[in-house]
Structure 1
Amino acid sequence: MTGMHSLWRRALAEALGTGLLVTVVVGSGIAAAKLSPGDIGLQLLENSFATALGLAVLILMLGPVSGAHFNPVVSAADWWLGQRDGSGLSLRELAAYVPAQISGAIAGAILANLMYGEAAVSWSTTDRTAGHLWIGETVATAGLIVLIFSLVWSGRAALAPAAVGAYIGAAYWFTSSTSFANPAVTIGRAFSDTFAGIAPSSVPGFVFFQVFGAILGAGLVVVLYPGLGSAADVVVPHTGTTESESTDSGVSS
């Protein structure tokens, strides 16, 4: 990996970014249900539009610090694909990123609940356990991994904020599962019994097929881009300091 911020600062950025992403997803879902009662299609449109825009903004805002993974399977793919040439996250960095993402996601759901006058934690009762939904999560996650790493490996990482936001916004509609595609976000959404929630009993199935989709996606990246290089600096290339330096990084997207 290129020059980096200290690990604690990058982990904080991952927690903050994942948390705010869940706040956007859950908060916009609550708002949509209140503003458009009885119209599920319009609610989904409002929720997906806010999520796509919010994700793009968060990538731009925090990508220069941590790479803006906001997703354990993206971080794991970054580590695994980086083994090809010694780039990507180290195991130590992966071990810091994933707990930060999960804890941030939970905090983000709680924040959204509180902003709308809901109980801080209200376990979702929305069952999402079905084979066609698992297929949807596999497709959504595989596509996300292919998109991110094809952009990075072909030198187009600067397009990631718009492209990833657009992909997630579209995948709300073309996948049966409405494209969670993120284990941390899935866990966080279980803490809110609102429009965007998922029952805790449905979480393991979604996470399993998200991991499976990430493996498929990483395999496709290797097949499609065999001669291209680094998996580092996902989602946004970030430059800056080593752990012993203190100057600010520059946004390179």
Structure 2
Amino acid sequence: MSRLGRRLLAEFVGTALLVAVVVGSGIMAQNLAPGQIGLQLLANSTATVFGLAVLILILGPVSGAHFNPVVSLADWWQARQRGTGLSSRELGGYVLAQALGAIGGCLLANAMFAVPAISWSSTERTGAAVWLGEIVATAGLILVIFALTRTGRAAAAPVAVAAYIGAAYWFTSSTSFANPAVTLGRAFSDTFAGIAPISVPGFVLAQLAGGVIGFLLVQGLFGRPGADVPEAVSGEPTASR
């Protein structure tokens, strides 16, 4: 398999497993603690923190462990400034792999819990306050990731990124999706972690806005990147070389 092929496979598998963790733990929490929303969210967020940390640790050396189109877009834009990093062709491949992986991961979680493979979510998540929550969640995520890479601390990404997402589950009104691919995938499950298809466009637009804000914050705090700045999340992929 080519170097790019391995990177795309890592993004597909990583995003699929991330969504399987999010949706699967949501279904399990819903089954074990019916009606207890706070306990369900605690279980869901805890599983997501541990699952995301492990996935970044394992797949980061292959693809950078983006698992998120906003992260890939930010890395592509940074690459335009420093002359290296994701190309436009690689960006398209990453986004497609992430979207397909997210859908596949949701279908897998549904299958594991004997839920219909495609059961469109009926949970509407909408309104200015919720969209603001997604903007904050995504901006913070981009800031965490790129602050680490810009200061040579990418090795801390598995812990720092997972910890931020876990915290943002609780301090944002949207429970921190912060990821267009994951948002798309979660529309395929009418369970605790689902989002109604009608709510997906608003979330994605808020996430893109948050990505821009987060990247501008990184630029303001750390300036323009030099040619030696590694890729997000966890450094320049090496395993595929």
Name the TM-score, length of structure 2 as normaliser.
0.96
Cα displacement (A) at 1:239: 4.2
Match of 2:232 among 231, 234, 245: 234
Cα displacement (A) at 1:9: 1.0
The Cα RMSD (Å) is: 1.3
Cα displacement (A) at 1:231: 5.2
User: In the alignment, what sits opposite 1:86?
Assistant: 83
1:86 maps to a residue whose letter is G
Match of 1:42 among 33, 36, 39: 39
Is 1:78–1:231's contact at 8 Å kept on the other side of the alignment?
A: no
Cα displacement (A) at 1:240: 2.9
State the alpha-carbon separation in 2 of the partners of residues 228 and 238 from structure 1: 15
1:160-199 to 2 correspondences below 5 Å: 160-199=157-196
- Which deviations, in whole Å up to 9, do the C-alpha atoms of 1:109-153 show, x marking residues without a partner? 000000001001100000001110000000000000000000000
Is 2:60–2:237's contact at 8 Å kept on the other side of the alignment?
A: no
User: In the alignment, what sits opposite 2:68?
Assistant: 71
Match of 2:11 among 9, 14, 27: 14
1:25 maps to a residue whose letter is V
- Which deviations, in whole Å up to 9, do the C-alpha atoms of 1:215-251 show, x marking residues without a partner? 010111001001653554211124437xxxxxx66xx
1:99-118 to 2 correspondences below 5 Å: 99-118=96-115
State the alpha-carbon separation in 2 of the partners of residues 231 and 63 from structure 1: 16
Name the TM-score, length of structure 1 as normaliser.
0.92
Match of 1:52 among 39, 44, 49: 49
- The question of 1:156 aligning with 2:130 is answered no
Is 1:82–1:232's contact at 8 Å kept on the other side of the alignment?
A: no
State the alpha-carbon separation in 2 of the partners of residues 234 and 216 from structure 1: 17
State the alpha-carbon separation in 2 of the partners of residues 235 and 157 from structure 1: 7
In structure 2, runs of 5+ residues without a counterpart are none
Provide the identity percentage: 64
Cα displacement (A) at 1:87: 2.2
User: In the alignment, what sits opposite 2:119?
Assistant: 122
State the alpha-carbon separation in 1 of the partners of residues 31 and 53 from structure 2: 25
State the alpha-carbon separation in 2 of the partners of residues 231 and 118 from structure 1: 44
Is 1:102–1:188's contact at 8 Å kept on the other side of the alignment?
A: yes
State the alpha-carbon separation in 2 of the partners of residues 240 and 152 from structure 1: 15
Is 2:79–2:86's contact at 8 Å kept on the other side of the alignment?
A: yes
Cα displacement (A) at 1:51: 0.2
Cα displacement (A) at 1:69: 0.2
Is 2:138–2:210's contact at 8 Å kept on the other side of the alignment?
A: yes
Q: Answer 1 or 2: which has greater helix percent.
A: 2
How many pairs are equivalent?
239
